[in-house]
Amino acid sequence: MRRLLIIITIILFNSISFADEICNDDRKIWIKQLKKDMARDFVNPVFSDKECVAELIEHNGISMEQHLHTLAAVKRDDFKNNSIREERDFLRSLFDDIDSPKENK
């Protein structure tokens, strides 16, 4: 889960057009080190050839798109699980009295 969060963060905050605008030697060195660090955390990572973006294309032989679909399926299954939904509803009901102030007459 931590790895996926890192991947999503990198994808969201390292936009390719922004990276191309400020691509300098310091950034290239930083991205190269980031790719080395990520390579230690992932199994068989494949990065893009871009020097200014740490774009992970696949790891462990599975593309990032497939990982995102798998994560979405897991989240969907959790949402469908009635016991988890009942726990959420119970916790929300605990705060109903707090959220709706009573009228003073």
The alpha-helical segments, DSSP class H, found in the chain are: 2-13, 16-21, 25-41, 64-80, 82-94, 96-99
In a domain, 68, yes or no: yes
**Residue 72: per-residue pLDDT:** 80
**Residue 60: per-residue pLDDT:** 81
In a domain, 63, yes or no: yes
**Residue 15: per-residue pLDDT:** 55
**Residue 1: per-residue pLDDT:** 64
In a domain, 24, yes or no: yes
Split into its structural domains, the chain has a count of: 1
**Residue 99: per-residue pLDDT:** 54
pLDDT digit of tens for each residue in the chain (105 aa)? 677 667 766 665 655 555 556 788 888 999 899 899 888 888 888 888 888 888 888 878 888 888 888 888 777 766 666 777 788 788 888 877 665 555 555
Rounded CA-CA distance 48/103 in Å is: 60
* Containing structural domain, residue 7: 2-98
Q: CB–CB of 64/73 below 8 Å?
A: no
In a domain, 104, yes or no: no
pTM (whole model) above 0.75: no
In a domain, 105, yes or no: no
